[in-house]
Chains A and B, each alone.
Chain A
Amino acid sequence: MTLPRRPVVPLALAAVVVTATAAPALASLLGRLQHAGGGSAATEGTTPEVFRRFSGQVVKLQVSETRSAAKAEVGSAFFVSADGRLITNYHVVAELVLDPDRYRAELVDEAGDSAAVTVLAIDVVHDLAVVRTRLRPGRWFQLGAGGRIAQGLRLYSLGHPLDEGIAIVEGTYNGNLPHTLYPRIRFTGALNPGMSGGPAITVDGRVVGVNVSTAGEESSYLVPASRAADLLARTSAPGFTPARDLLAEAGRQIREYQEVYLRNLFTDTTESVTLGRWRLPTQPAEFFDCWADASEEDDQQPYREVDHTCSTNDDIFISADQSSGVIDFEHELLSSDELDRFRFHAMYTKEFHGNWDLDDVGPDEVTDFSCTTGRIRKDGLVFAAVFCVRRYLKLPGLYDAVLRLASIGDGHRGLLTTMTMSGVTFANAREMARRYIARIGPAR
């Protein structure tokens, strides 16, 4: 029913964007800091040389359950200051933020020394976190060298894939992912789980981005280093104190992000698509991907189906089971020559009741769904309507919501349209539903 979405798996990647045109002063500073290990002219610039010089600044970060000591998450992190601060992904330390009494985090460095880490600051929207340890690194990475990088520049990603020990992955810089609300760098190289939070660097050790996710094969993604630099700068500001309640901070960031994300969705300027006699919204913003698909009546299925689906990759990682900020919607035009109108409506009712395509979330994360049903009339069109919500238990003020409409009164034909929202405020959920319905009308 739903079209396959490209699965994007959060990893642990850290990227420092270093431009080829970095300021000479910074370059010399980096040179002094990072060339300390030296290296022969013969091997300089090769992958073994990059690994030898910089792998010591990357650590394994693991989150374990305090009581059972069972590993909950293994990722990577890298030093960015002399006082023991590191950058990693928010999703690597998410358990610690969501359930600080149940989890603890520690890092394991090159020498095998381990030390506890605490979370200083998070940026849920960009999937970044700054953590601190008592260990003092001999060398650390610099973030946020400005300027442009040429597509095709060779990058080296470091991290701890699959908890098998540190590894280096070669790949190329391919610019930013198009149509996203927040920037993601395309890294053509094979990132694997466990590398999340590690850096992707240039040959001279400048961080371009932070390893964050992969779509499989060689399609991987980095958070631009400038975002990590912003977060790090926040923790360096005079008078900075870590947020006392990181969970509340995460909730605040998600709600703030939403206001930006939702502001212009389904407004008067939203494009339309026509299915049968219905005019429906499509492509509500640049950062949505929309597809169409159709299937014919056949031996298995006694009805035809035309689908139009839109979804966004701009979701925010909340926990292994949950993400926020995703709005998906799907229009399905169903019709049949074979089924009489009673049998068609038996099938149509099944479609109306099923195929919700929701995140599979446990009972300690969300409440049950509560729904209201009714019949609405809009511009002469009549729909059966259902609107359902469930609330997040740990992040206050956030809800998942679903709106589904099914046209009534068209004999052997029906239009189902479903909008699914995750991690939105209740007021936003209702407002999006209102705007969505407002964009539906008879085809001109």
Chain B
Amino acid sequence: MIVVEVLGRGGRVAERVRLQALPATIGRAYGNDVVLDDPYADATHARLGFDAQGRVVVEDLGSVNGLVAGEQGPRAGRLVLAPGAVFRVGHTLLRVASGDAAPAPAVKDSGGAGWTRAFRRPWVAGALTLAGAPLFGLAFYLGQTDKTGGAPYALDVLTSAAAVVLWAGVWALGTRIRGGRASFAAHLAVAWLVLGFALAVVVGEDWLRFFTSGTWVADAAAVAAVVAIVMVVVDSHLQVASSLSARARALIGAGITVALLGVAALAVSGTFADNQDDIVIDMPLKPVPARFVPTETPDAFLARAAKLQREVDQEADEQ
């Protein structure tokens, strides 16, 4: 038994035709075994059969547009079809499968089953928006040190909210195009949640720098946080948008993370290339009572500074 699969958009199977015996014909006319709805196909376009070795072959029956191996291959009068091979008739892609082949096991349905399931309820997105926007307003307010009044804060908050909505909209559009539902509310909820997480990371990292500056702790934490945020963003949006497995989502997230870290490393090396006249320090100041601040003696601090001479001497020697 042979099965002919008519492929639709995105390579998904639109129709399966089970053929009890070969030869069989393919074409636009209703008398064919495989009937195509394709104006570029002839009435009787091609014939499937076996060759002397028992392989499945397809032959052109003198059609206008011919037979094509794969989607973009050369035109051929006759093609030998290996199992799973794709060929094109008119604008239609076809694949021949053996009816005896064992089907793959069923894929476990994770779409909507992960932690993002709760986000499919629109009121969750609404609630997160109402909570998230003022949080950003507060963050902007605490970072402002001049007398600018309320309007700039409101503008900052609205701009960020618009950016979040746009971000969720792009994901929703992608989800819709790929064939599923748009799931805008779920994407919006994910965006706010991840941004809240990112805000917490930024604030936390700033405080960590205050307490640990001069060590690698805050840098390591920052890199770890960026990795976590990107992984979570990719994983949660893909959960909403697709039924990819957790493993596939993690792989995609890891790929994007590596790419982003690479770009960030390039940007950082570019930024600090011209630092003769500028001093860049990463230590913030925080309102902490003096007794809670870990300190060293001035002599210990200046002893640590001895390494600076080696650093700049080495740089001078390289020039």
Cβ-defined contact, A374 with B146, below 8 A: no
Cβ-defined contact, B296 with A408, below 8 A: no
> Does chain A have a CB within 8 A of B150?
no
Measured between alpha carbons, how far is A382 from B272 in the docked complex, in Å? 30
Instruction: List residues 270-315 of chain A with CB under 8 A from any CB of chain B.
Output: 299-303
Q: How far is the CB of B212 from chain A (nearest CB, A)?
A: 10
> Does chain B have a CB within 8 A of A177?
no
A397 closest partner in B (C-beta): B313
Cβ-defined contact, A374 with B214, below 8 A: yes
Measured between alpha carbons, how far is A367 from B314 in the docked complex, in Å? 10
Cβ-defined contact, B214 with A388, below 8 A: no
Measured between alpha carbons, how far is A368 from B316 in the docked complex, in Å? 9
Instruction: List residues 324-347 of chain A with CB under 8 A from any CB of chain B.
Output: 338-339, 341-347
Q: How far is the CB of A267 from chain B (nearest CB, A)?
A: 16
Measured between alpha carbons, how far is A245 from B141 in the docked complex, in Å? 59
A302 closest partner in B (C-beta): B147
> Does chain B have a CB within 8 A of A147?
no
Given A353, A362, A391, A402, which contacts B313 in the complex, CB threshold below 8 Å? A391
Cβ-defined contact, A367 with B279, below 8 A: no
Residues of A within 8 A of B301 (CB): 372, 374, 376, 385, 387
Residues of A within 8 A of B147 (CB): 299-300, 302, 338
Given B142, B214, B285, which contacts A408 in the complex, CB threshold below 8 Å? B285
Q: How far is the CB of A218 from chain B (nearest CB, A)?
A: 33
> Does chain A have a CB within 8 A of B109?
no
Residues of B within 8 A of A385 (CB): 298, 301
Cβ-defined contact, A382 with B279, below 8 A: no
Cβ-defined contact, A353 with B316, below 8 A: no
Say whether, besides A369-B275, A382-B295, A393-B319, A409 and B288 are in contact (CB < 8 Å).
yes
Residues of B within 8 A of A426 (CB): 308-309
Task: Flag B201-242 by CB within 8 Å of A: 1 or 0 each.
Answer: 000000000100110000000000000000000000000000
> Does chain A have a CB within 8 A of B267?
no
Residues of B within 8 A of A430 (CB): 302, 305-306
> Does chain A have a CB within 8 A of B20?
no
> Does chain A have a CB within 8 A of B151?
no
Say whether, besides A368-B275, A389-B312, A430-B305, A373 and B282 are in contact (CB < 8 Å).
yes
A401 closest partner in B (C-beta): B308
Task: Flag B259-283 by CB within 8 Å of A: 1 or 0 each.
Answer: 0000000000000101111111111
Q: How far is the CB of A278 from chain B (nearest CB, A)?
A: 13
Measured between alpha carbons, how far is A374 from B309 in the docked complex, in Å? 17
> Does chain B have a CB within 8 A of A266?
no
> Does chain B have a CB within 8 A of A141?
no
Instruction: List residues 283-311 of chain B with CB under 8 A from any CB of chain A.
Output: 283-291, 293-302, 304-309, 311
Instruction: List residues 122-158 of chain B with CB under 8 A from any CB of chain A.
Output: 141-147
> Does chain A have a CB within 8 A of B315?
yes
Residues of B within 8 A of A359 (CB): 277
Q: How far is the CB of A255 from chain B (nearest CB, A)?
A: 15
Say whether, besides A391-B313, A414-B285, A361 and B146 are in contact (CB < 8 Å).
no
Residues of A within 8 A of B142 (CB): 342-343, 346
Cβ-defined contact, B290 with A408, below 8 A: yes
Q: How far is the CB of B204 from chain A (nearest CB, A)?
A: 15
Residues of B within 8 A of A369 (CB): 275-276, 278-280
Cβ-defined contact, A346 with B145, below 8 A: yes
Say whether, besides A353-B281, A374-B214, A390-B276, A341 and B309 are in contact (CB < 8 Å).
no
> Does chain B have a CB within 8 A of A168?
no
Given B291, B302, B315, which contacts A367 in the complex, CB threshold below 8 Å? B315
Residues of B within 8 A of A388 (CB): 279, 281, 308
Residues of A within 8 A of B143 (CB): 346
Given B144, B289, B306, which contacts A343 in the complex, CB threshold below 8 Å? B144
Interface centre among B142, B306, B309 (most CB of A within 10 A): B309
Cβ-defined contact, B290 with A371, below 8 A: no
Cβ-defined contact, A361 with B277, below 8 A: yes
> Does chain B have a CB within 8 A of A377?
yes
Say whether, besides A352-B285, A372-B307, A362 and B276 are in contact (CB < 8 Å).
yes
Residues of B within 8 A of A299 (CB): 147
Q: How far is the CB of A322 from chain B (nearest CB, A)?
A: 11
Measured between alpha carbons, how far is A348 from B284 in the docked complex, in Å? 9
Q: Taking beta carbons and an 8 Å cutoff, which residues of A are in contact with B?
A: 299-303, 338-339, 341-350, 352-353, 356, 358-363, 365-378, 380-382, 384-391, 393, 399, 402, 406, 408-409, 411, 414, 426, 430, 433-434, 437-438
Q: Taking beta carbons and an 8 Å cutoff, which residues of B are in contact with A?
A: 141-147, 210, 213-214, 272, 274-291, 293-302, 304-309, 311-313, 315-316, 319
27 contacts between A and B (CB under 8 A): A341-B287, A342-B287, A345-B286, A346-B143, A346-B145, A353-B281, A358-B279, A359-B277, A368-B274, A368-B315, A372-B214, A373-B213, A374-B301, A375-B296, A377-B290, A377-B295, A377-B296, A377-B297, A380-B290, A384-B210, A385-B301, A387-B308, A389-B305, A393-B319, A409-B291, A430-B305, A438-B298
The 10 closest A-B pairs by CB, nearest first: A409-B290, A347-B145, A377-B295, A368-B275, A382-B290, A341-B287, A370-B311, A391-B312, A367-B315, A437-B298
